[in-house]
Amino acid sequence: MRAREISVIAIVILMMLPNAMTVVSAQPSDEVEDYMSITDKIRQWWSNKVYGAYKVPVDVIKLSKRVAEADLIVKVDANHADDFKNDFEFKEITQIDDTTFHIKIDTKKVVPSRLGAVKYLLTRNFDGTLATYPYVNAIYVNHKMEALPPVELAKPLEVGVTTWEMREHYGIDNSTKQGEGIKIAVLDTGVYINNSLNSYDTNKTFVYSVVNDDGVDRVGHGSHVISIINGNYTESEDGKIICMGLARNATVYSIKVLGNDGTGSEVDIIKGIKLAMDLDVNIISMSLGAQIPPYTALYNAIQEAYARGIIIVAAAGNDEGRYPLAPAAWDGVISVGSLDENGKLSYFSNLGFDVAAIGQNVTAPALYKNTYSFITYSGTSMATPVVSAIIADFLSEHPSYIGHPKEVVSLIKQTGDYNNPSNPKVVKTDILGWNNYYYEFPEISYENMITLSPQIKPQDKTEMSFSTISTWRTLGKNP
């Protein structure tokens, strides 16, 4: 048979295969897939034709070029869990649930060679690799994640915007319940409860960990985040610093998913999400992220939580990038950008977010260098708990929205406050000594959510353009 005839037959087979394939994992939207390069899209297309739709993501295919040992999350048919454990030789294996395993295995046992893939495509005879076993439904890389590090730590004794001042800014005292009855899971570096400031109510703040330790925050990141949400009233000895959480009556479950260096992995974050679902929380708040591909086990876990009616909030990132990091970039997640106290977009904030809140120079109690005191941090990590707390305040006043994340997202976008500095009609230049660039974007507004919620009809999207910001950043200017 001539080579040209073989090619024609192969193309015909490829055209026929999709009808026989089934989608084995959640499929991100086209918007998320846009983050993939053209080369990766071609690789993903080929993988879908060979193994089934989204069974083997691009980053799994690339493993053989990067590492000898693959760190993976694998989903299998529930009735074949024992077969899976017996059919392969693992370096490590941990069962997460009935269908999900965390494994470490020789990379050569993951995906067959290109020739082996073509052979499998034509014959459907598996050759001992994970990708070709019929009861293996999806294979994912266990990506590394991290707490988004604060952009800057203020000088000692320097005070920024306190949570007490943010309560006034957002009109939190107008809330009679302030998060009462609402449960928030904070997936972060833990919490430091035993402190002299007595900034956490142990009847409202509970400690969990999925990283095999005591759940105590030794980084300071998680403590700062939780202080913003439901910290007790605390005051410095000289009375110059007063702090209190924006949803002081909310119940917070601190779930430590990141280690004492502020880093972790998808596996632990997935465990944290599953624990949050078991705790029947209303909101999951994540001030963490990474630049990872769209087809991941974490994406599926988030979609499961979203489908159960949990509102998911995540930080957009501090890289000055045009798009948020994952998981903030994904469907069903409220992505949060950062503002300064004047409503100006923080110079470090990633763009493309759903809503913004004050995240620059935020002062709250937290652990820092083994001392628990008032600390000032900047980052979308600080803006994220502000949004989570305001949502909790709203839900406690309007419980009919509990379990309806899509409606809450729509309401937040439509009631955002656009009274912050708007787009300039005339662009000023550095030559004249002016360098004030302001842009239009929604700042979360608790008062608008409360006032306008009966009048707002849910919608999927609110159009926002960040092209002007992107242009100026390309020119080296930060708004």
Q: Please identify, among 142, 167, 198, the residue that sits at the C-terminal boundary of a domain.
A: 142
CB under 8 Å to 194, separation ≥6 — which residues? none
Other CB atoms within 10 A of residue 49 CB: 17
For residue 73, give the 3-state DSSP assignment.
strand
Q: Are residues 197 and 262 in the same domain?
A: yes
Which residue among 47, 254, 285, 381 is the active-site one?
381
Last residue of a domain, one of 89, 107, 142: 142
Q: Are 232 and 335 members of one domain?
A: yes
Could you tell me if 72 and 110 lie in one domain? yes
User: Is position 459 within any domain?
Assistant: yes
Categorise residue 434: left if φ over 0, alpha if ψ from -120 to 50, beta otherwise.
beta
- Total structural domains within the chain: 2
Q: What is the pLDDT at residue 156?
A: 55
**Claim to verify: residue 227 and residue 331 sit in the same structural domain:** yes
Write the DSSP symbol of residue 330: S
Residues 303 and 197 in one domain: yes
Instruction: Verify that 250 and 308 share a domain, yes or no.
Output: yes
Contacts of 430 (CB under 8 A, 6+ apart): none
- What pTM, to 2 d.p., does this model score? 0.85
Q: How confident is the model at residue 457 (pLDDT cuts 50, 70, 90)?
A: low
Which whole number is the average pLDDT over 246-255? 97
Nearest to 77 by CA among 137, 37, 7: 137
Binned at pLDDT 50, 70 and 90, residue 287 comes out as: very high
- 102 a catalytic residue: no
Mean pLDDT across 395-407: 92
Determine how β-strand 263-265 pairs with β-strand 144-147. Answer: antiparallel
- Is 164 a residue whose pLDDT tops 80? yes
pLDDT at 154: 63
Question: What is 344-383 written as a DSSP string?
Answer: PBPTT--SS-SEEEE-SSEEEEEEETTEEEEEEE-SHHHH
The rounded percent of the chain whose pLDDT value lies above 70 is: 81
Residue 255: inside a domain: yes
Do 282 and 414 fall within a single domain? yes
pLDDT of 55-93, one tens digit each? 999 899 888 777 889 999 999 999 999 999 999 999 999
| Known catalytic residue at 64 | no
Per the structure, the complete domain to which residue 53 belongs is given by: 3-142
Q: Are 216 and 192 in contact (CB under 8 A)?
A: yes
Residue 367 has pLDDT above 70, yes or no: yes
Domain harbouring 220, CATH code: 3.40.50.200
410 given a catalytic annotation: no
Same domain, 175 and 45: no
Q: How do residues 422-436 score in pLDDT, each as one tens digit?
A: 443 333 444 444 444
Q: Which of 114, 142, 170 is the last residue of a domain?
A: 142
The one catalytic residue among 40, 59, 71, 188: 188
Q: Is residue 479 part of a domain?
A: no
Do 237 and 190 share a structural domain? yes
Residue 205 resides in a domain: yes
pLDDT grade, residue 15 (50/70/90)?
Answer: very low
* Residue 327, preceding peptide bond in cis (omega within 30° of 0): yes
32 lies in a domain? yes
Which residue in 221, 227, 254, 388 is the catalytic one?
A: 221
Nearest 10 degrees: Cα torsion 99, 190, 230, 374: -160
Question: Apex CA 35: angle with CA 115 and CA 31, to 5°?
Answer: 115
In this structure, the answer to whether residues 243 and 150 fall within a common structural domain is yes
Residue 361 lies in a domain: yes
Indicate whether 126 and 55 sit together in one domain: yes
- Judge if 150 and 79 occupy the same domain: no
